[in-house]
């Protein structure tokens, strides 16, 4: 009998998960995984935040809690406290009742729901031809999220200057100037993935000025708040600045990294509208989209975050945990740079400490990357992106020496 | 004008930017991107609960959404769930991302539960089962897959009536919705002839959606002999079968009995698509535990299909939530907990059966002359009362009994304490 699925082709695996897969299968005892973006301790182990363990115990012991459905838009106390994290406790926009949120499945889910909404309701109805701009380079799933939501025109905006290993500001501003009006721009709130290169405050102001003048839509992706500098407020500067400039915007928040809740899928789509009436209508349409996607979101992770954020002691403990992670990353950056410079590895390596967040765009080319993987069992992305969290005091010498070798031996 | 500060600025920020960082928001600027966004209507099912919450009548009853309640009308957390949670808590597991397809321990046991441990499909590895965001998420990914790869047809046939969310899910995924006769309002029972008649006219390769057991909203299920005939005819028409099984265990109280239709179709050679939910039978509603299974020709095809499912899932939510799947897997894979679970499902199903009997009895003693046999004939969580929309409206307005407009009530919301009041209200609006 002819199979209905006889014609289904084998799809290529998602790159970042393949890297981890290959790492797992490698028998080399010296192997290092610098691929997927998840925090690791100095022992190279996943880290369940102490505050999370504490709150989990509270939840398991609480007999008054159950597993009932959450509302379609999610746990109310999660949504509001999560938005406050991004916008600030005293945000005027919140006080003006024009901020709402949709609890989503991770940052991906928040981007998805936001994208689905924009496709239906932004720039006319169902205008699938509205250009969506994502940075060059960007998180590899951004493209797919917007394409799958129905957008036909997803384009790159200049961002990374490979030669100078920094932000291509004039290219970025140039693309903003030449983008069709009403184009959607996906901006990384902080700790740009994969480059680790963020605009300075002045640069953000310039970006905002052009976006306001040319009526471009602001869609922030905030997956690393707290993780970049160690300070929540500092990392939210860009998002909050744009609000002072009067933008209506979306901000997709992830709590995967800063709460270490990766597999509980905790995300929040924060919506900043012109006024409460607009917000109400927007949220009602968000419900429709959620209902045909997952009906209502998972409760465990949201509960954990809500309990933590709404309790002053736990909130304080969480901020400490976040700082612990950010500090370790910073020390690995300093260490790697120092070692490469001590080895006199050709090239300049200050970008390692200038870049911010979990990732570093090393500047290694595909051949050098292949060398590291094949000859050294050091796993990283073909783009040269490494996850700093994969570095430990125990493996950093091996990694530094290997990078040195690859740069010297491989063109 | 309203002046706001944007927070601290970096050192050496030039003056002109320090000034512009003090945001100026003019009240006269009323432009909004969303001016054209219409107010969406409340969800027909979940909106019922929201209306119920607003009602201050102490006698109010929520018979809207299908969530099980105990005889005190309280949400019920299964004992096997609590035990599983304690076990999991003691293991101090990490929170690393699951694979896109979900927790392996869960997907294996999920498939086993539906197909039976001795299923040839499982032995040959020709199924692909992925963890999904409960039943909705499963249907959605399945619909997306069909939309992308089932080029032979855009048509999905739903029984009339069906779960309210089926239509928008398939439509949003790009499929065309069609209908087949199913429920006979004159008997409040199964329109077997109508079903067969309509199936015989379906174009080949169309998708037919079947409720595996405890049909939602009617509670009317085909008998095994009828399922056999349906399976035969569906094969003759060369239709793609999509089973929605959200109530395994809940219909009869017996896991295997409730999965009989699914297993029969597979034995007859249908390579089905199957959605499973653990919201009701494990009470894991808010944890969003579900599975999507595609039965393929062979293991090689299953691998190709799996790779494409991952491509569909990744841009929606990347990978599924751990907590509920871990609980479900622990229950399914731990003999002691599994046995407790079977008992608890049996109890839940029995309580509902009892409530059906009491409702029918109470309606009789209220003096109703209508035929209420369907209340006890129907199976599962829901009862299709036969009430018309205006009667439903009266029942809600005058008695604060909340239900969906189609006359569907969730028997799970009925208790020995309120069944009399419910019968009284139903009688009042139907006499």
pLDDT tens readout for residues A207-266: 999 999 999 999 999 999 998 999 999 999 999 999 999 999 999 999 999 999 999 999
Assign 3-state DSSP to chain A and report helix, strand, coil percentages, each to 5. Answer: 45, 15, 40
Can you say whether the dihedral through the CA atoms of B119, B123, B126, B130 is positive or negative? Answer: positive
The number of angstroms, rounded, from the C-alpha of A141 to the middle of its chain's C-alpha atoms is 10
Cross-chain Cβ contact A38/B97 below 8 Å: yes
Return the bridge partners of A185, or none. Answer: A133, A218
pLDDT score recorded for residue B49: 84
pLDDT tens readout for residues A257-315: 999 999 999 999 999 999 999 999 999 999 999 999 999 999 999 999 999 999 999 99
**Full DSSP string of B258-273:** HTHHHHHHHHTT---E
Tokens found for residue A213: 């003048």
Read off the pLDDT of each residue in A153-158 and give the average, rounded to a whole number: 98
Three-point CA angle A244, A249, A254, nearest 5°: 105
pLDDT tens readout for residues B211-268: 999 999 999 999 999 999 999 999 999 999 999 999 999 899 999 999 999 999 999 9
Rounded Cα–Cα distance for residues A322 and A360 (Å): 19
Rounded Cα–Cα distance for residues A67 and A82 (Å): 21
pLDDT score recorded for residue B9: 60
Cross-chain Cβ contact A300/B13 below 8 Å: no
Q: Which residues of chain B lie closer than 8 angstroms to A274, CB-CB?
A: 30-34
Catalytic residue list contains A139: yes
Rounded Cα–Cα distance for residues A80 and A94 (Å): 9
Rounded Cα–Cα distance for residues A259 and A225 (Å): 10
Which has the higher per-residue pLDDT, A382 or B14?
A382
Residue B389 distance to chain A (closest CA, Å): 23
pLDDT score recorded for residue B16: 59
Partner B, chain A 237-266, Cβ-Cβ below 8 Å: 237, 240-241, 243-246, 248, 256, 260-265
Q: Which residues of chain B lie closer than 8 angstroms to A62, CB-CB?
A: none
Assign 3-state DSSP to chain B and report helix, strand, coil percentages, each to 5. Answer: 45, 15, 40
In order along its 431 residues, chain B shows pLDDT tens digits of 344 444 456 666 666 555 544 444 444 456 777 877 888 887 777 778 888 999 999 999 999 978 999 999 999 999 999 999 999 999 999 999 999 999 999 999 999 999 999 999 999 999 999 999 999 999 999 999 999 999 999 999 999 999 999 999 999 999 999 999 999 999 999 999 999 999 999 999 999 999 999 999 999 999 999 999 999 999 999 999 999 999 999 899 999 999 999 999 999 999 999 999 999 999 999 999 999 999 999 999 999 999 999 999 999 999 999 999 999 999 999 999 999 999 999 999 999 999 999 999 999 999 999 999 999 999 999 999 999 999 999 999 999 999 999 999 999 999 999 999 999 999 999 99
Catalytic residue list contains A257: yes
No. of helices (H) and no. of strands (E), chain A? 16, 13
CB proximity A209 to B under 8 Å = yes
Rounded Cα–Cα distance for residues B34 and A23 (Å): 47
State the CB neighbour count (10 A cutoff) for residue B58: 6
pLDDT score recorded for residue A79: 98
Is-cis flag, bond preceding A194, omega within 30? yes
pLDDT score recorded for residue B1: 39
Summary mean pLDDT of chain A: 95
ipTM: 0.94
Read off the pLDDT of each residue in A175-193 and give the average, rounded to a whole number: 97
Q: Which residues of chain A lie closer than 8 angstroms to B76, CB-CB?
A: 66
The number of angstroms, rounded, from the C-alpha of B271 to the middle of its chain's C-alpha atoms is 22
Helical ranges in A26-158 per DSSP H:
50-61, 76-87, 92-95, 106-121, 140-148
Q: Which of B4, B10, B46, B40 is nearest to B24 (CA)?
A: B4
pLDDT tens readout for residues A98-109: 999 999 999 999
Tokens found for residue A192: 């740009």
| Secondary structure of residue A98 in the 3-state scheme | coil
CB burial string B391-412: b at 16+ within 10 A, e below: bbebbbeebbbbbbbbbbbbbb
Partner B, chain A 43-72, Cβ-Cβ below 8 Å: 45-46, 48, 52-53, 56-57, 60, 66-72
pLDDT tens readout for residues B271-311: 999 999 999 999 999 999 999 999 999 999 999 999 999 99
In contact, A221 and A191? CB cutoff 8 Å: no
Name which of A52, A88, A298 is nearest B324 (Cβ-Cβ).
A298
Read off the pLDDT of each residue in A158-178 and give the average, rounded to a whole number: 95
Name which of A67, A201, A280 is nearest B10 (Cβ-Cβ).
A201
pLDDT tens readout for residues A78-93: 999 999 999 999 999 9
Which burial class, exposed, middle or buried, applies to A219 when counting CB atoms under 10 A from its CB (0-12, 13-18, 19+)?
Answer: buried
Cross-chain Cβ contact A291/B168 below 8 Å: yes
Rounded Cα–Cα distance for residues A390 and A32 (Å): 7
Partner A, chain B 75-94, Cβ-Cβ below 8 Å: 75-77, 81, 85-86, 89, 92, 94
State the CB neighbour count (10 A cutoff) for residue B124: 13
* pTM of the predicted model as reported, rounded to 2 decimal places: 0.94
Q: Which residues of chain A lie closer than 8 angstroms to B14, CB-CB?
A: 202
Name which of A145, A217, A295 is nearest B134 (Cβ-Cβ).
A295
**Full DSSP string of A1-20:** ---TTTTPPPPPPPHHHHHH
Residue A63 distance to chain B (closest CA, Å): 9
Share of chain A above pLDDT 70, in %: 98
Q: How far is CA A19 from CA A14, A37, A336, A386, B192, in A?
A: 9, 11, 22, 12, 54
Q: Which of B98, B380, B366 is nearest to B247 (CA)?
A: B380
Selecting among A257, A318, A339, A349, the annotated active-site residue is A257
Structural domains in chain B, sorted by start: 44-77+350-430 (3.90.1150.10), 97-333 (3.40.640.10)
């Amino acid at each position: 009998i002819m199979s209905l699925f006889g014609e289904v082709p084998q799809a290529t695996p998602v790159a970042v998960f393949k890297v981890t897969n290959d790492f797992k299968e490698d028998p080399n005892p010296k192997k290092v995984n610098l691929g997927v973006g998840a925090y690791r301790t100095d022992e190279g182990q996943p880290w369940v935040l102490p505050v999370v363990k504490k709150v989990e115990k509270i939840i398991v012991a609480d007999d008054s809690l159950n597993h009932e459905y959450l509302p379609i838009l999610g746990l109310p106390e999660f949504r509001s406290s999560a938005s406050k994290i991004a916008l600030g406790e005293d945000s005027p926009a919140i006080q003006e009742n024009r901020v709402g949120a949709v609890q989503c499945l991770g940052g991906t889910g928040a981007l998805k729901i936001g994208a689905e909404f924009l496709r239906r309701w932004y720039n006319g109805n169902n205008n699938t031809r509205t250009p969506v701009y994502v940075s060059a380079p960007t998180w590899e799933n951004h493209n797919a999220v917007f394409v799958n939501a129905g957008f036909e025109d997803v384009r790159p905006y200049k961002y990374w200057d490979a030669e100078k290993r920094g932000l291509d500001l004039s290219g970025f501003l140039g693309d903003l100037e030449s983008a069709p009006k009403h184009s959607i721009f996906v901006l990384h709130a902080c700790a740009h993935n994969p480059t680790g290169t963020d605009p300075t405050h002045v640069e953000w102001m310039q970006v905002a000025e052009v976006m306001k003048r040319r009526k471009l839509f602001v869609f922030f992706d905030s997956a690393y708040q707290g993780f970049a500098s160690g300070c929540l407020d500092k990392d939210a500067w860009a998002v909050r600045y744009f609000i002072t400039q009067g933008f209506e915007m979306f901000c997709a928040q992830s709590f995967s990294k800063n709460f270490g809740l990766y597999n509980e899928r905790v995300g929040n789509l924060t919506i900043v509208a012109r006024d409460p009436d607009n917000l109400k209508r927007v949220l009602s349409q968000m419900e429709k989209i959620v209902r045909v996607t997952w009906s209502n979101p998972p409760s465990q992770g949201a509960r954990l975050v809500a309990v933590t954020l709404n309790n002053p002691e736990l909130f304080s403990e969480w901020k400490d945990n976040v700082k612990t992670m950010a500090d370790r990353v910073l020390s690995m950056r300093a260490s790697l740079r120092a070692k490469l410079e001590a080895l006199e590895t050709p090239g300049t390596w200050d970008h390692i400490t200038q870049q911010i967040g979990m990732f570093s765009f090393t500047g290694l080319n595909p051949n050098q990357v292949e060398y590291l993987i094949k000859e050294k069992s050091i796993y990283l992305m073909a783009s040269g992106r490494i996850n700093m969290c994969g570095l430990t005091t125990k493996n950093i010498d091996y990694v530094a020496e290997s990078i040195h070798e690859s740069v010297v031996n491989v063109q | 004008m309203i002046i706001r500060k944007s927070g601290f600025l970096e050192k050496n920020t030039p003056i002109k930017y320090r000034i512009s960082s003090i945001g100026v928001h003019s009240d006269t600027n009323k432009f909004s991107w969303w001016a054209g966004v219409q107010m969406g209507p409340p969800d027909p099912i979940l909106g019922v609960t929201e209306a119920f919450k607003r009602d201050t009548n102490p006698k109010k009853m929520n018979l809207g959404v299908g969530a099980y309640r105990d005889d005190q009308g309280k949400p019920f957390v299964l004992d096997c769930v609590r035990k599983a949670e304690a076990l999991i808590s003691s293991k101090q597991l990490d929170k690393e991302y699951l694979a896109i397809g979900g927790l392996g321990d869960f997907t294996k046991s999920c498939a086993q539960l539906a197909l039976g441990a001795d299923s040839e499909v499982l032995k040959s590895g020709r199924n692909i089962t992925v963890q999904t965001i409960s039943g909705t998420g499963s249907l959605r990914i399945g619909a997306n897959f069909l939309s992308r790869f089932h080029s032979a047809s855009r048509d999905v046939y739903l029984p009339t009536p069906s779960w309210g969310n089926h239509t928008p899910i398939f439509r949003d995924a790009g499929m065309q919705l069609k209908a087949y006769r199913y429920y006979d309002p004159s008997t409040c029972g199964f329109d077997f002839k109508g079903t067969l008649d309509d199936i015989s006219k379906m174009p080949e390769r169309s998708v037919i959606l079947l409720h595996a057991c405890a049909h939602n909203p009617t509670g009317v299920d085909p008998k095994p002999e009828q399922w056999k005939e349906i399976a035969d005819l569906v094969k003759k028409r060369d239709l793609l079968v999509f089973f929605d099984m959200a109530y395994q265990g809940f219909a009869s109280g017996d896991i295997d009995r409730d999965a009989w239709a699914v297993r029969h179709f597979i034995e007859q050679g249908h390579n089905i698509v199957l959605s499973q939910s653990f919201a009701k039978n494990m009470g894991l509603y808010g944890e969003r535990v579900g599975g999507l299974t595609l039965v393929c020709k062979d293991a090689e095809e299953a691998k190709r299909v799996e790779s494409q499912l991952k491509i569909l899932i990744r841009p929606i939510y990347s990978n599924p939530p751990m907590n509920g799947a871990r609980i479900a897997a622990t229950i399914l894979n731990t003999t002691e907990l599994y046995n407790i679970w079977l008992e608890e499902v049996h109890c839940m199903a029995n309580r509902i059966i009892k409530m059906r009997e009491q409702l029918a009895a109470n309606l009789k003693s209220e003096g109703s002359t209508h035929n209420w046999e369907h209340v006890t004939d129907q199976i599962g969580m829901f009862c299709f009362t036969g009430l018309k929309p205006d009667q439903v409206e009266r029942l809600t307005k005058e008695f604060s009994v909340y239900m969906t407009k189609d006359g569907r009530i969730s028997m799970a919301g009925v208790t020995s304490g309120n069944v009399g009041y419910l019968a009284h209200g139903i009688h009042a609006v139907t006499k």
